[in-house]
Amino acid sequence: MGAGANCVLKRHLRRSLKAFESRLCIQEGESLFDPYKQYMYSYPHKTAYQHIQHLKLEQYQQELTESSTTLYFHIPFCESKCGYCNLFSIPCKNSEKINGYIEAVKRHAKHYRDVLSFEGVRFESLIFGGGTPLILSIDQLGELFDIAENSLGIDLERVNTCIETSPNQTSREKLVFLRSKKVNRVSIGVQSFVQAELDKLKRLHSAHRAKIALEDIQNVGFDNVNIDLIYGVPSQTMESLRYSLETALSYQPDEIFAYPLYQRPNTGIYKQFDTDKDLQYRMYFMICDVLAGKGYFQTSMRRFVKDRPSKQSSCGFENMISLGCGGRSYIGNLHFCERYTSRQVGCRDIINAYINRETFFDGISFYKLDMDEMERRFTIKNLFYYSGVTFSEYKAVFGTDLYGDFPVLQKFLQENWAMENGGAIKLTPLGLSLSDYIGTMLISDAVSRKMECYRDA
- Residue 236 burial class via C-beta count within 10 angstroms: exposed 0-12, middle 13-18, buried 19 and up: buried
Name every residue whose Cβ is closer than 8 Å to that of residue 362 and which is 6 or more positions away in sequence: 53, 54, 55
Q: What is the pLDDT of residue 11?
A: 63
The number of distinct structural domains making up the chain is 1
Would you say residue 419 lies in a domain? no
Answer whether residue 21 shows pLDDT above 90: no
pLDDT of residue 30: 41
DSSP per-residue codes, 19-84: HHHHHTTSEETTEE--S-S---SSSS-GGG-EEEEE--GGGGHHHHHHS-EEEEEEE-EESS--TT
3-state secondary structure of 233: coil
The reported pLDDT for the residue numbered 27 is 41
Cβ atoms within 10 Å, residue 403: 14
Q: Is it the case that residue 186 has pLDDT exceeding 50?
A: yes
Is the per-residue pLDDT at 375 higher than 60?
yes
- The whole-number pLDDT of residue 31 equals 46
For the cut 50, the answer to whether the pLDDT of residue 38 exceeds it is yes
User: Quick one: pLDDT at residue 34?
Assistant: 87
Confidence of residue 336 (pLDDT cuts 50, 70, 90): very high
Cα separation, 419 vs 414, in Å, equals 9
Asked if the structure places residue 411 within a domain, the reply is: no
Mean pLDDT taken over the chain: 93
| Predicted confidence (pLDDT) at residue 377 exceeds the cutoff of 90 | yes
* pLDDT for the residue 26: 44
Evaluate if residue 227 carries a pLDDT over 80: yes
In the chain, the N- to C-terminal Cα span, in Å, equals: 48
CB 202 within 8 A of CB 269: yes
- On whether the pTM is more than 0.75, the answer is yes
Task: Answer yes or no: is pLDDT of 9 > 60.
Answer: no
For 99-148, the pLDDT digits (tens) are: 999 999 999 999 999 999 999 999 999 999 999 999 999 999 999 999 99
Residues counted in the chain? 457
CB contact burial 98-126 (16+ within 10 A = b; e otherwise): bbbbbebbebbbebbeebbebeebebebb
Strand-pair category, 334-337 with 328-331: antiparallel
Does residue 414 form part of some domain?
Answer: no
As a whole number of angstroms, the distance between CA 143 and CA 3 comes to 49
Task: Give domain status of residue 351, yes or no.
Answer: no
Q: What is the mean pLDDT of residues 76-92?
A: 95
Q: Are 74 and 326 in contact (CB under 8 A)?
A: yes
pLDDT digits (tens, 9 = 90+) for 249-272: 999 999 999 999 999 999 999 999
Q: What is the mean pLDDT of residues 148-154?
A: 96
Tell me the CATH number at 241. 3.20.20.70
Q: Is residue 243 part of a domain?
A: yes
pLDDT at 29: 41
44 cis-preceded (ω within 30 degrees of 0): yes
Determine, yes or no, domain membership for 138.
Answer: yes
Q: Which domain holds residue 199?
A: 46-305
pLDDT reported for residue 315: 78
**Residue 429 located in a structural domain:** no
What is the structure's pLDDT at 316?
Answer: 72
278 lies in some domain:
yes
69, 121 contact by CB (below 8 A)? yes
